[in-house]
Amino acid sequence: MTTAEMEWSSRIRGGAEDHAAAPVQSDAHISDPVRGNARKWIASGIFVFVLALYILTSPGRIDIIDGQARFDVAYNWVTLGSPVIRDPWIKPFMGVQGRGGAAYSFYGVPASLFSMPLVWAGNHFGKSGILASQFLFSLTSSFFGAGIAVVLFLFYLELGVSLRSATGWTMVSSFATMIWPVSNSTFDNAQHAFFAIAATFLAYLSQRRQAVAYAWAGGAMAGILILYQEYFLLIIPALGLATLNWKGLVHTVPSGAQALQVSAGDRLLHPWRALHAFLREAWNEPGEARSSCVRYFVFLTAAGCGLLLSFAYNDLRFGSWFYNGKIRLATERGYHVFGNPLAGFLTLLVSPGKSVFLYSPPLVLGVLGIRRLWRRTPELATALCFVTGLLVLFISCISFAGGDWCWGPRYLTLLLPLWALAFPFALGVNVRRELAVAFIGVGFLVQILALSVENQRFFFERGLNDLFWAEDSWAYFKRSALFARVGETVSLGQGAPATAQLFNSIPIPDWSTYAILGPPANVPRALTPQWIRSYKIFFVPRPWPLWMSWLPPSLRPVELATCLLALFGMAGVGLGLIYKGFRKGACV
């Protein structure tokens, strides 16, 4: 071992000095019974309160055809015992022939599997059979969105944030970023975000507690992401970096007078030499370096179980481990999976149509706080940056980077709770409180606009083709659903046009919870602005308590008054639990 490597190894063994950041709480809150009890009360209250508000502002119906396919799988699994697609309207273009000649969805299993208890409850206890099941199915992601809030709150406490601040920033993430509308959709992106933040949290706990069991649990959470989409394999190794303890490693970078004596080439090589020393230390003798490597290996091994389950589900449907039917969609519709990476990258970051910063303004606070988060916990900040880089670069390369038809850049939802971890660290150094309040206020307003109107109205009013994003890779620089939403929301005051006699466009007019179907083949897309004027769904407020009041009681999937009373009661209980937690914790 060279003299330099010996010095680096010595620093790794000895650890690093405390970072110069905001004051860090001690670990007393972990073992203090009073503070720990307060944390449980507040976490429970956050879940109940956020869930109640998410459900109250949900569309209460399947808002996209992707969700309808996932519902049909769940419904048939509950009623028939098989994950097949039988829906006569979506089967022709959403089903793939598999074992026994049956049609199966090309989507992963979790979004259908996790919704099955809700589907079962609607089928057995709802007054309207399948409509009640569809209504409850549409709330699936709301439970995961509330779960994100709880994990984020607990994560803040582990980072040394006070109970009061942790609660406040959790509410910012929950109601001022795109997590809110995505949690109200039957797209499954909020579910991705939950498993990503849960995996990262457990990985971080494994490092803080020196516990391999947490690493295994975190890897299992990450493995579920693979069951949703195989491309999450790209980011799982980066999520696992939170299991490492490398404070000694990162402090080997020269600073001050030492930095002046190091050449540019040496600066570039220095991190790699330090990493080599870290790995060599792990190989040669027991210690923190070896423990970190063991935790990382366990995390990846547990995640690998998700890959095996994904293969097994493919075999169940199609008799092949590696075939899942997704390539069929691109082949039959005649578009290229990969597009212009520059257009995709700029679309996700700066376009008026899909910029993640426009749809989630508080994300700017995360960017400004990342440096102080890195000083607090470099392993976590490094994991966050690697996950972001890998996911953004991959999504930028696919032709459907915007994820339409939807609200905002939904594929980046996974990153939002991770970047929310840096929110508290932006204040006091990089951002004045007034500016932070402005970002939060604008973010809340954007989410209110997101919840107000049916998302697909924007696309039909412009006569867009189904694959408009493949026809023009710069489409999102020419139109913006966000900017158009202001006028759409104002127009709600005019009510539905006189021509709107039906609620939805499906062949069974009495079904209010089924996904929107586009115009029939004999209606050119240029005429869709007139076509949508026949249906109330495009001109009434989106949250279900509002549009459902327009329907006769006999056509409503649930008892409106009873559900509203229960949900407002839930919200009140949630606030009561939070208040009780503050009283018990004597929060600072």
The three state secondary structure string of 466-535 is CCHHHHCCCHHHCCCHHHHHHHHHHHHHHCCCCCCCECCCCCCCCCCCCCCCCCCCCCCHHHHHHHHHHE
Q: Does residue 313 sit within a domain? A: no
What is d(CA 248, CA 12) in angstroms, rounded to the nearest whole number?
4
- Predicted structure pTM score: 0.91
Q: Is 219 exposed, middle or buried (0-12, 13-18, 19+ CB in 10 A)?
A: buried
Q: Which residues contact 16 (CB under 8 A, 6 or more apart)?
A: 247, 248, 250, 251
Angle between helices 189-209 and 288-318 (to 10 degrees): 150
> 516 and 138 in contact (C-beta within 8 Å)?
no
Q: What is the band of 14 on the pLDDT scale with cuts at 50, 70, 90? A: very low
Inform me whether the pLDDT recorded for 143 exceeds 60. yes
Q: Does residue 483 sit within a domain? A: no
Q: Does residue 455 sit within a domain? A: no
Residue 83, helix vs strand vs coil: coil
Q: What is the band of 406 on the pLDDT scale with cuts at 50, 70, 90? A: very high
pLDDT at 554: 87
pLDDT at 282: 64
Tokens matching residue 134: 């569809």
Q: What is the band of 4 on the pLDDT scale with cuts at 50, 70, 90? A: very low
More confident residue, 584 or 34: 584
What is d(CA 75, CA 365) in angstroms, rounded to the nearest whole number?
42
The secondary structure of 416-442, three-state, reads HHHHHCCHHHCECCCECHHHHHHHHHH
pLDDT at 230: 93
Give Cα 395 to chain centroid, integer Å: 15
pLDDT at 127: 73
Least confident of 6-15, 291-300, 416-425: 6-15
What is d(CA 419, CA 422) in angstroms, rounded to the nearest whole number?
6
Mean pLDDT of 152-160: 96
Find the helix or strand (DSSP H, E) in which 8 lies: helix 3-14
Tokens matching residue 242: 């939170």
What is d(CA 559, CA 137) in angstroms, rounded to the nearest whole number?
16
Find the helix or strand (DSSP H, E) in which 5 lies: helix 3-14
**How confident is the model over 524-553, as pLDDT tens digits?**
999 999 999 999 999 999 999 999 998 989
Residue 160, helix vs strand vs coil: coil
Tokens matching residue 424: 């508290």
Tokens matching residue 117: 């208890």
Least confident of 37-41, 483-487, 563-567: 37-41
In terms of Cα–Cα distance, which of 369, 397, 393 is closest to 381?
Answer: 369
Q: Is 337 exposed, middle or buried (0-12, 13-18, 19+ CB in 10 A)?
A: middle
> 419 and 286 in contact (C-beta within 8 Å)?
no
**How confident is the model over 349-378, as pLDDT tens digits?**
999 999 999 999 999 999 999 999 999 999
Q: Does residue 93 sit within a domain? A: yes
> 419 and 391 in contact (C-beta within 8 Å)?
no
Find the helix or strand (DSSP H, E) in which 541 lies: none
- Alpha carbon separation from 74 to 215, 368, 405, 494 (Å, rounded): 31, 42, 22, 38
Cis peptide preceding 405, ω within 30 of 0? yes
Inform me whether the pLDDT recorded for 428 exceeds 80. no
What is d(CA 210, CA 194) in angstroms, rounded to the nearest whole number?
24
The upper half-sphere exposure of residue 329, i.e. CA atoms within 13 Å in the direction of its Cβ, equals 17
What is d(CA 461, CA 195) in angstroms, rounded to the nearest whole number?
36
Inform me whether the pLDDT recorded for 255 exceeds 70. no
Inform me whether the pLDDT recorded for 436 exceeds 80. yes
Tokens matching residue 368: 């400004």
Beta-bridge partners for 95: 105
Given phi > 0 = left and psi -120 to 50 = alpha, else beta, which region is 494?
alpha
What is d(CA 78, CA 72) in angstroms, rounded to the nearest whole number?
10
Using only the alpha carbons of the chain, give its radius of gyration. Answer: 25
Helix ranges (H only) for 62-209 are 65-79, 91-94, 110-113, 116-125, 130-137, 140-158, 163-176, 179-183, 189-209
In terms of Cα–Cα distance, which of 522, 503, 521, 523 is closest to 513?
Answer: 503
Helix ranges (H only) for 251-336 are 257-260, 264-284, 288-318, 326-333
The upper half-sphere exposure of residue 105, i.e. CA atoms within 13 Å in the direction of its Cβ, equals 28
Mean pLDDT of 292-299: 93
Beta-bridge partners for 105: 95
More confident residue, 418 or 287: 418
Q: Does residue 128 sit within a domain? A: yes
**How confident is the model over 172-199, as pLDDT tens digits?**
999 999 999 999 999 999 999 999 999 9
Lookup result for tokens 């980066």: 238
DSSP characters for 556-582? -SS-HHHHHHHHHHHHHHHHHHHHHHH
Give Cα 544 to chain centroid, integer Å: 22
Residues of the domain holding 94: 65-137
According to DSSP, residue 105 is labeled E
Q: How many domains does the chain have?
A: 1
What is d(CA 116, CA 472) in angstroms, rounded to the nearest whole number?
38
Q: Does residue 107 sit within a domain? A: yes
> 214 and 206 in contact (C-beta within 8 Å)?
yes
- Give me the percent of the chain exceeding a pLDDT of 70: 86
Beta-bridge partners for 398: 338
The upper half-sphere exposure of residue 326, i.e. CA atoms within 13 Å in the direction of its Cβ, equals 13
Q: Does residue 103 sit within a domain? A: yes
pLDDT at 287: 74
Give Cα 238 to chain centroid, integer Å: 17
Inform me whether the pLDDT recorded for 43 exceeds 60. yes
According to DSSP, residue 537 is labeled G
Tokens matching residue 587: 């929060």
Q: Does residue 280 sit within a domain? A: no
Mean pLDDT of the chain: 88
